[in-house]
């Protein structure tokens, strides 16, 4: 899975690695998120990734105002109604995570998240989440590299679940298998059938070959497709053997192969094999770097470019359909399995999808972040599309209908513009046993950009506090957060007056006024 990170702090792995040499110790448990908490509902619309299987879905979300990540999970009932009910979702806040989450994978009831290397001074911290009835439990650990290995880049870039084990793409170290039932962690170098336990990894003594860096992986049946810069390997999880028979040959004469970046194998034996490849393309007499999506021909043992765009993710549906998430949106293709180019399908069309989303949710240009297909039967399933404005879901069947309709799985409902609908979230502000700094956020949506003032008053309409005064806010359909005008880290009230003193329990009123004449009033109950 290669999801798009939109607003993460950029702490590079290598910098952290060097900075923390000598600090890293072997830990079996880490306190990654000390202030974790779980609850009901979906905690944010800013969905970074979506994963899961037919029984359970997980989304990873970014909670901007609190500067932290959360996961939301649902036991999938197989219908969009259950997905849309907030109470069917469990949420789990990861606490303040200041750096990237690289990848997540779900298998056997467990969700694994791998963080940026050396997060909290530890190499490869990993968070394991399991669903237990109405709660989500967590277990934090690192992969447990020896101290002297920390000068290598051991970033766990990607993770997959195959054959009762999680596999991590760990750069200089290679492929790491974590068998959580036997609590063993082993390192495999591409091409070598032998392995070493992670805590005995020789580090620099292994003289890692940069061309054998494991930069990505993907599951295919009982195999792991492993990506190194110059080659795609097939690692058998049954006998731990490596197959290097997939060539790196490009059939397009105007393209020069630079390196593999990702691989997308279609489920099933001899299925379609796609890859995102970095190439040099000759344009106006000079070679320029570009990315292509290429299809592999097993008979001719070469790759053929099918799409010259930056591809973020690919998901496969039944009937040799596949869905491609690119910088321009989402498209559907169908493959004939012959050595000819794939055909673009009209059932999912980027412009139609954009128009639909704009019309229904006042979201002009959602940033699509991830794509996931959940098969329910051999010919039906769900296509899930994550975006910075919620998750969208389409029921898929083969052969497909003429038109595919997306539904939105989204906590934050659209708010009518022109301040015709405003409210405080939550409307009852009490001290939270987990979060004494509980606060309420003012939800509103302007019809056009304006300067906004928000004030809170008590029962006698005496001014309690000015929340914002003449602050510029965008209309929801003009780039506002979640299709609204609310700026969640500014438009909030914690129940204190202008002197910082907690107000008395009671009903309070707020007024949202603008310099374009739109205004609204609402109520908040405070008892904290």
Number of residues lying near other proteins (CB under 8 A) = 51
* Residue 107 or 480 having the CB closest to other proteins: 480
Binding mask 3-42 for other proteins (x = CB under 8 A): ------------------------------------xxxx
Q: In the chain, how many H helices and how many E strands?
A: 3, 38
For residue 43, give both structure tokens.
């905690």
Closest distance to other proteins from the beta carbon of 81 (Å): 15
User: Pattern of binders to other proteins over 463-502, x per CB under 8 A?
Assistant: xxxx--x---------------------------xxx-x-
Task: Write phi, then psi, for 37 (nearest 5 degrees).
Answer: -155, 155
Both structure tokens of 61: 């979300």
Closer CB to other proteins, 193 or 466, in the complex:
466
| Among 184, 328, 507, 515, contact with other proteins (rule: CB under 8 A) | 507
The smaller minimum CB distance to other proteins, of residues 281 and 425, is found at: 425
- Return the residues of window 94-123 that contact other proteins according to CB under 8 A: none
Looking up tokens 């970074």, which residue turns up?
48
Least distance to other proteins, CB of residue 497, Å: 4
Q: What's the Cα-to-Cα distance from 37 to each of 43, 96, 138, 346, 489, rounded to whole Å?
A: 11, 12, 10, 43, 20
Using the CB atoms, write b or e for 160-176: b if 16+ within 10 Å.
Answer: bbbbebbbbbbbbbbbb
State which residue, 91 or 331, has the beta carbon closest to other proteins.
91
Binding other proteins by CB under 8 A: which of 10, 87, 183, 299?
Answer: 87
CA gap 362, 474 in Å, rounded: 13
126 vs 503, beta carbon nearer other proteins: 503
CB 444, min distance to other proteins, A: 12
Compute the least distance from the CB of residue 18 to other proteins, in Å: 41
Q: How far apart are CA 158 and CA 276, in angstroms?
A: 15
Whether the Cβ atoms of residue 232 and residue 246 lie closer than 8 Å to each other: yes
Using CB under 8 A as the binding rule, whether residue 337 contacts other proteins is answered as no
- Least distance CB 439 / other proteins (angstroms): 11
Report the C-alpha gap between 223 and 391 in whole angstroms: 30
| Joined tokens for residue 13 | 């792995």
Shortest reach from residue 95's CB to other proteins, in Å = 17
Binding mask 160-199 for other proteins (x = CB under 8 A): ----------------------------------------
What is the footprint of other proteins within residues 440-459 (CB under 8 A)? 443, 455-459
Q: Give min distance, CB of 31 to other proteins, in A.
A: 24
Segment interacting with other proteins, rule: CB under 8 A, options 207-215, 245-253, 357-365, 508-516: 508-516
Q: What are phi and psi of 409, to 5 degrees?
A: -100, 100
Footprint (CB under 8 A) of other proteins, residues 414-443 = 423-428, 430-431, 433, 443
Label residue 358 exposed, middle or buried (CB < 10 Å: 0-12, 13-18, 19+). middle
Question: Based on CB atoms, which residue is closest to other proteins, 329 or 522?
Answer: 522
For residue 480, how far is the Cα from the chain centroid? 21
**What is the residue-wise DSSP string for 110-127?**
EEEEEE-TTGGG-SSEEE
Residue number, 10 or 460, with CB nearest to other proteins: 460
Cβ-contact 478, 484 below 8 angstroms: no
HSE on the CB side for 430, CA within 13 Å?
Answer: 3
Residue closer to other proteins, measured from CB, 132 or 466: 466
Residue 411 as a binder of other proteins (CB under 8 A): the answer is yes
Nearer to other proteins, 146 or 413 (CB): 413
Q: Which of 69, 115, 492, 508 binds other proteins (CB under 8 A)?
A: 508
C-alpha span between 52 and 59 (Å, rounded) = 8
Q: Are 123 and 150 in contact (CB under 8 A)?
A: yes
Which residue's structure tokens are 């949420």?
91
Structure tokens at 370: 């991830």
- Structure tokens that stand for 253 in this block: 């004469």
Q: Which residues bind other proteins (CB under 8 A)?
A: 39-43, 86-87, 411-413, 423-428, 430-431, 433, 443, 455-466, 469, 497-499, 501, 503-509, 511, 521-523, 525, 527-528
């Amino acid at each position: 899975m290669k999801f798009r990170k939109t607003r993460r702090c950029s702490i590079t792995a290598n910098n952290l690695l060097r900075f923390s040499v000598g600090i890293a110790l072997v830990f079996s448990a880490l306190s990654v998120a000390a202030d974790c908490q779980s609850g009901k509902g979906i905690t944010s619309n800013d969905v970074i990734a979506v994963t899961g299987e037919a029984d359970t879905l997980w989304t990873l979300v970014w909670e901007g105002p609190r500067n932290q990540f959360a996961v939301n999970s649902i036991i999938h009932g197989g219908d969009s109604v259950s997905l849309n009910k907030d109470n069917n979702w469990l949420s789990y806040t990861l606490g303040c995570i200041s750096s990237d989450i690289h990848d997540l994978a779900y298998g056997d009831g467990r969700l694994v998240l791998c963080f940026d290397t050396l997060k909290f001074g530890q190499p490869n911290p990993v968070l394991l989440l399991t669903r237990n009835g109405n709660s989500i439990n967590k277990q934090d650990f690192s992969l447990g590299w020896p101290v002297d290995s920390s000068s290598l880049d051991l970033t766990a870039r990607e993770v997959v679940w195959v054959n009762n084990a999680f596999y991590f793409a760990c750069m200089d170290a290679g492929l790491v298998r974590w068998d959580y039932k036997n609590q063993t962690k082993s390192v495999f170098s591409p091409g070598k059938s032998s392995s070493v336990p992670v805590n005995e990894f020789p580090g620099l003594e292994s003289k890692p070959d940069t061309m054998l860096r494991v930069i990505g992986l993907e599951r295919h049946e009982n195999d792991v497709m492993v990506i190194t810069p110059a080659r795609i390997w097939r690692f058998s999880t049954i006998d731990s053997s490596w197959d290097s028979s997939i060539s790196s040959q490009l059939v397009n004469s105007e393209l020069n192969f630079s390196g593999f970046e990702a691989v997308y194998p279609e489920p099933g034996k001899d299925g379609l094999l796609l890859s995102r490849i970095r190439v040099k393309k000759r344009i106006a007499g000079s070679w320029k770097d570009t990315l292509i999506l290429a299809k592999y021909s097993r008979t001719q043992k070469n790759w053929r470019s099918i799409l010259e765009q930056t591809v973020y993710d690919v998901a496969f549906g039944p009937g040799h359909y596949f869905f491609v998430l690119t910088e321009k949106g989402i498209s559907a293709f169908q493959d004939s399995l012959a050595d000819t180019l794939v055909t673009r399908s009209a059932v999912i069309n980027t412009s139609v999808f954009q128009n639909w989303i704009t019309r229904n949710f006042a979201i002009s240009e959602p940033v699509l972040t991830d794509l996931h297909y959940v098969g329910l039967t051999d010919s039906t399933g769900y296509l899930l599309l994550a975006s910075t404005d919620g998750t969208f879901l389409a029921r898929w069947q083969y052969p497909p209908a003429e038109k595919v309709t997306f539904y939105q799985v989204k906590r934050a409902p659209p708010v009518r513009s022109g301040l015709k609908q405003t409210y405080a979230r939550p409307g009852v502000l009490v001290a939270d046993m987990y979060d004494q700094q509980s606060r309420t956020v003012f939800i509103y949506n302007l019809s056009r950009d304006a300067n906004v003032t928000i004030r809170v008053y008590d029962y006698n309409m005496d001014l309690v506090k000015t929340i914002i005064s003449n602050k510029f806010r965008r209309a929801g359909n003009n780039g506002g957060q979640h299709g609204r005008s609310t700026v969640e880290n500014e438009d909030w009230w914690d129940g204190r007056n202008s002197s910082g003193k907690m107000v008395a329990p009671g009903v309070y009123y707020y007024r949202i006024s603008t310099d374009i004449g739109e205004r609204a009033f609402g109520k908040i109950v405070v008892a904290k």
